[in-house]
Structure 1
Amino acid sequence: MSGLKREITLIGGIGQMSTTLLGTGLFMVPAIAASIAGQDMLWAWWLLIFAVCPIAFTFAALGKRYPNAGGASYFVKQAFGSRLEKAIALLFISVIPVGVPAAIAIAGGFAQQFLPNVLAQPIIAQLLVVVLLMIVNFSGSKISSQFQTGIALGILVLVGLFVWFGDISISDGIPTSSPLDKLPELGSAVAVMFWCFVGIEAFAHMGEEFKRPERDYPIAILVGCLIAGTVYYLFSIVVLKHQAFGTQELNTTSVPYLSNLLFGPGLTWLISLTGFLACFATINLYTQSLARMLWSLAREYKPSSPIARISTKGIPSTATIIVGVTLAISCVFGELSNIDIEVFLTLANGIFVVIYLFAMLSAVKLLQGKGRALAIFSTLLCVLVLFSIGLAMSYAIILLVLIWLLIPKFKSKNITG
């Protein structure tokens, strides 16, 4: 059985990491967070970036030492065994019904702006996104990383134009109040904003496909997080200064609103195209990651299964098709459910926080010296973020408990045969 091809370069990895973090979040999270915390959102960004940096460093250390398509679940296996590995893997896969509908709905919304009228229906646009995902994924990881690097450059230019034409000064980016004055609002804002740094765990699945994973993988994570954090902070300043937030409609259309305000209506098509590509970049990496998660489990526990096969281009074809079909079903579910996007985001964030938490606990056991100390600190930060999400965490915790209880049945029927 052949393995995944090592085709991802350092620049391609940075492009994938940064666009994954910037994707859907840039087009809704700053405005939603501003509606929750107002000007204090800037403090929330500082708190979140402070929490994410050690987590990113820890993921980088784990990925450098254990580059594997299994990602976070593989780290868990090394530390705690195969049963918990499968629980975390299935928990990651379970994000599809709550996380993917929100992301694809936003991408489809942008796509509707430049599709012909006959195709400009929400569900049709979303299914076309899924088809495009399959085309890009079957082109190979090298083409995918180059594609996302181009998108990253486009996003940087777009936010740079917003800052320039928005007349942003240094004083606009300095918080004016004390963060202690609105701690509950800051906690609620962080719970939503955590979505912006969801993607590190998905990127962990790509470590095995780097040309030089020991050197390039950790650098790609750290530089990608730094770029994304800077872009989010700058764009949040623009949102606050021009009051591009406040209602549910404005929160989800803050980028087009600012575009019309600062550039005029002539560039609406360009904003729609950039928005679509940015959202697509995030979904693309998750499609790759979910396929590689399925392939990794099949490779280890059922190597004779069709899911464990690799195409001549080094692509887990059957696993990718399974993910594509699941995404299409999730799109239909998301469109018919009419659940608020903010609810989807919070539930998905709960799942990701649990995955991050177990990855950090694994690092505590697997790493030594300064790496272990940083992992302990990162674990405490994950616990704080977990509490900031509040009752929405119950979805992820209950799901994990159910998966844990059902795993013995999966093991006897599906894995060992």
Structure 2
Amino acid sequence: MSELKKDITLVTGIGQMSTTLLGTGLFMVPAIAASIAGQHLLWAWVILLCAVCPIALTFAALGKRYPNAGGASYFVKKAFNSRLERAMAWLFISVMPVGVPAAVALAGGFAQQILPAGLSDPISAQLLTVLLLIVVNLAGTRSSSRLQTAIAIGIVALVVAFMVKGSVGTEDVTLPKLTSTDFVPIGQALAVMFWCFVGIEAFAHMGEEFKNPQRDYPLAILLGCVIAGLVYWAFSVVVLKFGAYGTSELDRSSIPYIAQLLFGAKATLLISVMGFLACFATINLYTQSLSRMIWSQAREYKPQSPLAKLNRKGVPLNATLVVGVVLALGSVAGELSGVDLEVFLKLANGVFVVIYLMSMFAAIKLLSGYYRGLAFVASLVCLSVFGFLGWAMLYALGLFCLFWMVLSHSPAISEQPTD
């Protein structure tokens, strides 16, 4: 078997896209951003949603025209050359040591509240999370996407319950007045909030597995982004209303804090389960996309490699196992190092900004008319986020340059565009 199974429908695609964007971000980003921008967080969401639209539309156009498991790196290959494609592929894979373990740590934190005493230490909880990821991924795309759709429905229901029980009114959603000094904290908040829409590039790897990629893939991206954006905005309103931000502890536990405030201690177990599932959904898609990136590179350049093999369910078996091992090692190293999760988040954001930016450059060359204009606007958005991230961009730029130089010595790589 050399082709991935086409098991993703429009509904399950929307479920995967929305849970990927919500996942870990919902449990930490609104509160962290509120600590930076205060009441002006609502303006920050408006700006971010407007800024993300051209990026999402451009990815939708690229995925509709070029559905491939290689995702962003494949778009770059079609526009430029194989050397740049492989540099992009390795850059995406490099997010494993920083971005995904941070998400695993957050999921493990919720799992600790559920697991029995003997398995509730941080490392055990994280390793069990990774094991569950591998099991779900090897079960096939259909099972995985159905699970994520159910999680998406649960997340939306949770936020709606917060708004209803919290008696959110029109005064709570009114945008505050802006002054010239407010744009600095809003910009700083946006640099963190960009994490909430990291996942569009990962979803690009799933285009080849849609039953009808021409129709359903673009709609899944757009509707998934809209749903996620509305949920983020709604939860931010609740965070601001109840002051669930401002300290390191509140920034990391805003949802449990609000749940206990509104529903009492009886909600603790439910929130722990929902928190774990939401975080799991994000990591699940990244596990899928990373394994497919590795598989697509092996299929293209070393088709006889064990990494190019699929199991009976059409899943890249060995590539998935490799991702699992790296995640496990990265999670243990991250836990033992004691590095703050916010540092990992910023480093990962730097990688994703470069991937988004190169994808937009590819779109400018590959697309035409309206979509080429959108890609140009999206490139400017990515460059703006690039500036806000500051020092964190050095990690991504350093790795990209390293991969580019190393791959210059590979005789198998063409410098010509592959049309």
Aligned to 1:395: 395
Specify the alignment match of 1:67 in structure 2: 67
**2:194 — aligned with what?**
194
* 2:151 pairs with 1:151: yes
Corresponding position: 1:273 with 2:273 = yes
- Tell me whether 1:89 sits opposite 2:89 in the alignment: yes
RMSD: 1.1
CA distance in 1, matches of 2:211, 2:370: 27
CA contact (8 A) 1:15 1:224 kept: yes
> What's the CA shift string for 1:82-118, capped at 9, x where partnerless?
0000011100000111101210011000000010000
- Tell me, in whole angstroms, the C-alpha distance in 2 between the residues paired with 1:173 and 1:257: 21
Greater CA deviation, 127-136 or 1-10? 1-10
Instruction: Report how far residue 412 of structure 1 moved.
Output: 5.9
Cα 1:11/1:267, change in 2 over 3 Å: same
Partner of 1:121: 121
Q: What is the TM-score with the length of structure 2 in the denominator?
A: 0.97
Describe the superposition over 1:4-36 as per-residue Cα deviations: whole angstroms up to 9, x where unpaired: 000000000000000000000000000000011
SS in structure 1 of the partner of residue 400 of structure 2: helix
Is 2:384 the counterpart of 1:384? yes
Q: Counterpart of 2:315? A: 315
**Identity fraction in percent:** 63
- Matching residue of 1:338: 338
Secondary structure of the structure 2 residue equivalent to 1:97:
coil
Separation in structure 2 between the aligned mates of residue 188 and residue 407 of structure 1, nearest angstrom: 35
Match of 2:301 in 1: 301
| Cα offsets for 1:310-346 (capped at 9, x unmatched) | 1111011010010000000011111011111111111
**CA distance in 1 between partners of 2:411 and 2:309 (Å):** 20
Specify whether residues 366 and 331 from structure 1 end up closer, same or farther in structure 2 by C-alpha distance, changes over 3 A only: same
Change (3 A) 1:179 1:263: farther
- Structure 1's consecutive aligned runs of 4 or more residues displaced over 6 angstroms after TM superposition are none
In the other structure, the counterpart of 2:417 is: none
> What are the within-5 Å matches in structure 2 for residues 108-187 of structure 1?
108-178=108-178, 180-187=180-187
In structure 2, C-alpha distance between the alignment counterparts of 1:411 and 1:111, rounded to whole Å: 47
Q: Could you list the runs of 5+ residues in structure 2 that have no partner in the other structure?
A: 414-419
Contact 1:40/1:186 (<8 A) preserved: yes
Contact (CA 8 Å) 1:8, 1:209: kept in 2 or not? yes
Structure 1 window deviating more from structure 2 (335-344 vs 143-152): it is: 335-344
User: Residue 117 of structure 2 aligns to a residue in which SS?
Assistant: coil
Whether the 8 Å contact between 1:43 and 1:179 is mirrored in structure 2 is no
Which residue is 1:328 aligned to? 328
Shift of 1:179: 5.6
Inter-partner Cα distance in structure 1 for 2:174 and 2:396: 35
Structure 1 match to 2:229: 229
Per-residue CA distance 1:249-289 (angstroms, 9 max, x = gap): 11101110001101100111000000000000000000000
Partners in 1 of 2:14 and 2:285 — Cα distance?
13
Residues 174-233 of structure 1, C-alpha deviations (whole Å, 9 max, x = no match): 221206332221111001000000000000000000000000000000000000000000
- Look up the match of 1:105: 105
In structure 2, do the counterparts of structure 1 residues 62 and 179 end up closer, same or farther at CA, with 3 Å as the change threshold?
farther
- Whether the aligned pair in 2 keeps the contact of 1:31 and 1:252 (CA below 8 Å) is yes
Distance of 1:47 and 1:337 partners within structure 2 = 35
SS state at 1:2 partner: coil
Q: Which stretch of the first structure deviates more once superposed, 218-227 or 335-344?
A: 335-344
| In 2, Cα distance between equivalents of 1:179 and 1:253 | 31
Who is 1:206 aligned against? 206
Return the letter of the residue paired with 2:90: L
